[in-house]
Amino acid sequence: MNAITKGLTLGTLLLSTTAMASALVQPIQSSVPEEAFQTLLVSKLLGELGYDVKPAKEADYNVGYASVASGDATFLAFNWNPLHKDKYEKAGGDTKFYREGTYVTGAAQGYLIDKVTADKYNITNIAQLKDPKLAALFDSDGDGKADLAGCNPGWGCEGVINHQLKAFALDKTVTHQQGNYAAIIADTITRYKEHKPVFYYTWTPYWVSGDLIPGKDVVWLEVPFTALPDGREGDTKLANGKNYGFEMNTMHIVANRAFAEANPSAAKLFDEMKLPINDINVQNSLMKQGQNKPADIERHADAWIKGHPALVKQWLTDARAAK
């Protein structure tokens, strides 16, 4: 009986390993280069579990969600909640997606201006830019209106910004400049270095707040009240009473539900992985300093895994034991 039991156990393990090894995984990531790191970490650990993980495909957020829902892609690691709530729901929600656990916490967004201008004119709230004279301080194209370095179309944040500019009666004094965020924010940083006033939207984790440091170089602007688009309910006021206009977000790994149900080991890994937001900031800063090639990001991911052996071992052990 003991020999039979051992044989069954060995056979089960071999079948499990074979099934896992034959399971293809197609990650998908956004066009934001700085989001490649968190995707690659997941991919590498899935590889440790025996999955055949393909290089990540790149797509905009809406296509990314649709691809995972349909099974054309296996997972994404850029689910901002609640910012991407509408994208998640429109692509099928919990019926199509597997989303358990929280990958990253403390993701913030908001509006900032340079500290010199904020202190000189006592600007603390974006609503103050209804004053044409104050708004004109941030005019970069000569039309007399403040130019807000804003959010790419399709990201989700653009809908909040456009809604708030109307809700706060700022649409006549502020222009939401959209396009290639990387280029727009690079121009903003150049203006700052030229000692010109700057007004921009950004988020964390991202390298911008390492170049323009809140509290030192720039300050966050509050908003007069909570205003979210599409009838969305919520309160953007923080525990300390400050209101910066955006809800604090968490980031999640979202997988195709059918894949997750058929692959409990992968599902368990998705559940348990957690990445400190400061680690993303550090890695993003390295990219800003020039370490932004695929080989660099591979090296960063390998270094993170090597630097957290006990944590990674626990995730993999739990994943292998999942049924």
In whole angstroms, what is the distance from residue 141 CA to residue 204 CA?
28
Domain boundaries, the chain: 2-105+249-321, 106-221
pLDDT at 239: 82
- CA 174 vs. chain centroid, Å, equals 26
pLDDT at 15 over 80: no
Q: pTM of this prediction?
A: 0.82
Q: Model confidence over 95-147: pLDDT tens digits?
A: 999 999 999 998 999 999 999 999 999 999 999 999 999 999 999 999 999 99
pLDDT at 235: 87
pLDDT at 22: 53
pLDDT at 18 over 90: no
Other Cβ atoms closer than 10 A to 289: 11
Mean pLDDT of the chain: 92
Q: Six-digit token pair at 261?
A: 């149900």
Amino acid at 293: K
- CA 11 vs. chain centroid, Å, equals 42
For the domain bounded by 2-105+249-321, which CATH number is listed? Answer: 3.40.190.10
CB contact at 8 A, 236 and 82:
no
pLDDT at 17 over 50: no
Number of H helices, E strands in the chain: 15, 12
**In whole angstroms, how far apart are CA 260 and each of 36, 97, 257?**
22, 9, 5
Q: 2-105+249-321 and 106-221: same fold?
A: yes
pLDDT band for position 218 (cuts 50, 70, 90): very high
Residue linked to tokens 């301080």: 137
Q: Six-digit token pair at 271?
A: 């559940």
Q: What share of the chain has pLDDT > 90, as a percent?
A: 82
Q: What share of the chain has pLDDT > 70, as a percent?
A: 93
pLDDT at 214: 93
Q: Six-digit token pair at 166?
A: 């109307």
Q: Model confidence over 145-194: pLDDT tens digits?
A: 999 999 999 888 999 999 999 999 999 999 999 999 989 999 999 999 99
Residue 204 β-bridge partners: 108
pLDDT band for position 9 (cuts 50, 70, 90): very low
Domain 106-221 part of CATH 3.40.190.100 = yes
